[in-house]
């Protein structure tokens, strides 16, 4: 038996509501947003990881806390890598 698995990447919109680009001077940063009211969680990831590092955390946190993210919680994920555009070598 061979089980065929789909290992293709999931899209950001499977976890987040919005994908924004924030301009800071000449630099551009990608921000993922889930929800629109309630407490705000700002999550940063370390070097070498993608901006979707916190995607499963978003869903898991909402589930664990029994929250409906759309109504009770905001989660904003700032990517420091991946969807970032900068004229500086080290940012």
Q: For 60-86, write each residue's pLDDT tens digit.
A: 776 676 655 544 555 555 554 455 555
Structure tokens at 62: 């909402």
6 lies in a domain? no
Count of structural domains, the chain: 1
2 lies in a domain? no
The burial of 72, by beta-carbon neighbours within 10 Å (0-12 exposed, 13-18 middle, 19 or more buried), is given as middle
44 lies in a domain? yes
61 lies in a domain? yes
pTM of the predicted protein model: 0.62
Q: Are 74 and 38 in contact (CB under 8 A)?
A: yes
DSSP state at residue 45 = -
42 lies in a domain? yes
Q: Give me the domain span that covers residue 47.
A: 15-78
52 lies in a domain? yes
9 lies in a domain? no
- Summarised one tens digit per residue, pLDDT across range 22-33 is 888 888 778 888
86 lies in a domain? no
**Residue 21 clears pLDDT 60, i.e. is over it:** yes
């Amino acid at each position: 038996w061979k089980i065929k698995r789909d290992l293709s990447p999931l899209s950001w919109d499977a976890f987040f509501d919005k994908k924004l680009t924030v301009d800071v001077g000449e630099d551009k940063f990608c921000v993922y947003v889930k929800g629109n009211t309630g407490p705000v969680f700002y999550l940063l990831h370390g070097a070498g990881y993608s901006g979707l590092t916190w995607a499963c955390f978003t869903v898991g946190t909402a589930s664990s806390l029994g929250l409906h993210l759309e109504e009770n919680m905001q989660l904003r994920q700032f990517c420091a890598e991946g969807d970032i555009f900068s004229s500086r070598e080290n940012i």
